Structure 1
Amino acid sequence: MPSPMPVSTEFYLSETPTERDRRIRDLFDTLDRNKSGHLDAEAIRKGFTQMTHLPARNKYVNELLDRCDTKHDGYVDFHEFKAYKRRRETETKRSGNSITNQGHRDGNGVIDFHEFKNFLLLLPQANMSEVYRYYQASTRLSPDAEVTIPPTDETSSHALGYLLAGGFAGACSRTCTAPFDRLKVYLITNQNSSVSLRQAITRIYQQGGWRGFFVGNGLNVMKIIPESAIKFYSYETCKRLVATTFGYDDKDSIPTTARFMAGGTAGMCAQFSIYPVETLKTRVMSLQREGKVTNSRQHSIILDTIKSMYTKGGIRAFWPGLTLGLIGVFPYQALDLGIYETLKLTYLTYMEEKTGGTNRQPSVLVLWACGMISGSIGATSVYPLNVIRTRLQAQGTPAHPVYYNSPWHAVQMTYKVGGIREFYRGLGPTLLKVVPAISISYVTYEWSKRQLDIS
């Protein structure tokens, strides 16, 4: 027969002074991992993360430090910590009594299941849509349909690990989908607008065999980690600058609009920094006419291309079409993020109505679908900018022997050749690589995170 219910919450709170001191000492020692005898902000932050397995925000760390540090020396010793804990326990007990008084009806000081259930029913509803608004995707598509790892609050706490995981995932994804990228550049730079996808595949194979489909992939893989590192650093710097300028508690407390601007700025910084590598990759791909690449070693072609570019145009030759690349960052990001969030929330609202709010989180398949649709629409919307940029980068090569006076001249010449459709040359291979790129990147990224113990 079950024992009778206790008539007071004191049954659960009975503790001798010695036991209380020992418990507080154990908690202090858990936070004081260096055994220095005092706590600072870094010790508290690391202790919280170790205890909860969640990153501690600077806001809460600083609040705790301010409340405990009665000497105002930036450190908390055990006596200060003990005094704070006793104050907090008194406040907590008072709050607990208040909740108990609101929750129970029979006045015995104990809340049973039915009273607790009725009390919870009065709380605001938390549905899937509201919870999922804070969900962040692991990967994103770039305007070129390349899978990238976006900088987030989570990645900033283990930057090196996420950088390595993202680098490996990107290398696998880009290598496996390199033939699609090769086809895209071939179609964009080819002067004959009537060349079909099948003809492009045949000619690339005739000129370089199966290796011809991977020309320039080494450069594409090489830029992954530098690009991601610049994005991470720029994103964190922008968030910190916004928090300092507008008086937010810390960089992780800034609003969504500020995060969007920080992400766009980080994308522009990364685009500017790795743009010479992108230009070099495009020109190396555009050299493959009549066996020019396959007759020499790849690294010799790269060095010769660098020398030729510098001789003809100096340092400016490495940044043709940069303005177009930078202009496309924010529109693409706005479309991608907006469509992605709209699709997710529409799906969640539908599932709530269908299941009465009892359904679990969206499956990976749903997230893939949302990411692929939003990324594809975003990439299509800014694709004309990428076509002009690619032609500016490839001008004067065997694949694209035309020269342009300016981006506007390139726009005029492109329209003259094939009208509006000419601005979407190569879009097919770009969209075709979305599904395998996201799939391969997801699998390798999650595997890498588990291997690096950051999952």
Structure 2
Amino acid sequence: MASHWQWENAAAGAAAGLATVSFSHPLDVIRTRFQVNDGRSLNLPTYKNTPHALFTIARTEGFRGLYAGFYPAVLGSTVSWALYFYFYSKAKQRYLRSRDVLSPGLHLASAAEAGGLVCFCTNPIWLVKTRLQLQTPLEAHPYSGFHDALRTILKEEGWRALYRGLMPGLFLQVTHGGIQFTAYEELRKVVINVRTEEIGDNFSTADDLLDSIDFAVLGASSKLSAILLTYPFQVIRARLQQRPSIEGVPRYMDSWHVVKETARYEGLRGFYKGITANVLKNAPAASITFIVYENVLNMLKLRKDL
């Protein structure tokens, strides 16, 4: 029966991604602007902290500023989550053919495989999203939207520019997703085992032991552990994906250049710029993602069984 559920995983993932972005996008804009601000560029706005950034963007740029890059964010998140859950479930099923239970290592391998495939598919969308989020009213030649940005990048920089930040993005997808999903699966097992010991066998399936509050706590906890361990990759990717200067010269040449310059001028703190906005965005967002995903998936399974 499980082998026929791939499309349900994709549909549940897409719904989860859409709900997540709609809720948290302003914090994503703030996080991106903090990430690229190395203190050496006069063209980038400077904010004291997350509330100050939120207030300043709302005052100077309005609602559109807080939701800059919303379309590619929705598109990227919906496609990413749909593909991620689809590839993740396929990988788990492949490993389960030769064993009854997956080990933490195989959960990690499944998540890493899914993350890598998703990264190759969606990097151009995330690059456009980053550039739209970094636009301010002072921009000399701003992009008018997603399609204009895509056209302009292809015309001025070529198709290879769409894959700037791919390597840190690949590391981020593989490690972040792997850590998050492994933590989620293992914590989920712990909760189920504790509940089983408490109430015995008075339930039909393991899913009956968990509710939306459990999914919220598990999602937020697993996300927090992944953020703390992988956040520097996000900073490196964002800095690589900035729009080149008027002369067409990128601020950073490659990932190693970002690492050297950030460590030299900003130290360890530079690799964690914007992490407060990131945690505020992603911890509750992960809760929403897994609540929606688990409940939509259970609903689709029930309909299929009728």
Residue of structure 2 equivalent to 1:188: 35
Cα pair 2:73 2:129 within 8 Å, conserved: yes
Matches within 5 A, 1:31-430: 55=1, 153=2, 157-192=4-39, 195-231=48-84, 234-235=87-88, 250=97, 255-256=102-103, 257-258=105-106, 260-290=108-138, 300-344=144-188, 361-396=209-244, 403-430=251-278
Q: Which has the higher helix share?
A: 2
Cα pair 2:224 2:283 within 8 Å, conserved: no
Q: Flag the 1:370–1:191 CA change in 2: closer, same or farther, 3 A.
A: same
Q: Percent identity?
A: 24
Cα pair 1:287 1:397 within 8 Å, conserved: no
Report the secondary structure of 1:391's partner residue: helix
Of structures 1 and 2, the larger Rg is shown by 1
Q: Deviations over 1:413-451 (max 9, x none)?
A: 222332111111111111112343245445655368648
Aligned mates of 2:201, 2:6 — CA distance in 1: 36
Cα pair 1:162 1:449 within 8 Å, conserved: no
Report the secondary structure of 2:267's partner residue: helix
Q: Flag the 1:271–1:207 CA change in 2: closer, same or farther, 3 A.
A: same
Aligned mates of 1:426, 1:259 — CA distance in 2: 29
Q: Give the TM-score taking structure 1 as reference length.
A: 0.54
Q: Flag the 1:362–1:222 CA change in 2: closer, same or farther, 3 A.
A: closer
Post-superposition shift, 1:233? Answer: 5.8
Give the superposed CA RMSD: 3.7
Report the secondary structure of 2:136's partner residue: coil
Residue of structure 2 equivalent to 1:437: 285
Report the secondary structure of 1:328's partner residue: helix
Q: Flag the 1:448–1:305 CA change in 2: closer, same or farther, 3 A.
A: same
Post-superposition shift, 1:402? Answer: 6.3
- Residue identity matched to 1:264: A
Q: Deviations over 1:214-241 (max 9, x none)?
A: 111111111345434544664576568x
Cα pair 1:208 1:291 within 8 Å, conserved: no
Cα pair 1:205 1:212 within 8 Å, conserved: yes
Post-superposition shift, 1:405? Answer: 1.9
Aligned mates of 2:138, 2:131 — CA distance in 1: 15
- Residue identity matched to 2:14: G
- Residue identity matched to 2:151: K
Cα pair 1:188 1:390 within 8 Å, conserved: yes
Report the secondary structure of 1:433's partner residue: helix
Q: Flag the 1:357–1:378 CA change in 2: closer, same or farther, 3 A.
A: same
Residue of structure 2 equivalent to 1:14: none
Unaligned runs of 5+ in 1: 1-54, 56-152
Q: Flag the 1:255–1:337 CA change in 2: closer, same or farther, 3 A.
A: same
Cα pair 1:165 1:449 within 8 Å, conserved: no
Post-superposition shift, 1:368? Answer: 2.4
Q: Which has the higher contact order (CA 8 A, sep 6+)?
A: 2
Q: Flag the 1:448–1:230 CA change in 2: closer, same or farther, 3 A.
A: closer
Q: Flag the 1:385–1:207 CA change in 2: closer, same or farther, 3 A.
A: same
Aligned mates of 1:324, 1:185 — CA distance in 2: 15
Q: Give the TM-score taking structure 2 as reference length.
A: 0.76
Post-superposition shift, 1:276? Answer: 0.5
Q: Flag the 1:442–1:366 CA change in 2: closer, same or farther, 3 A.
A: closer
Q: Deviations over 1:121-151 (max 9, x none)?
A: xxxxxxxxxxxxxxxxxxxxxxxxxxxxxxx
Report the secondary structure of 1:382's partner residue: helix
Q: Flag the 1:302–1:356 CA change in 2: closer, same or farther, 3 A.
A: closer
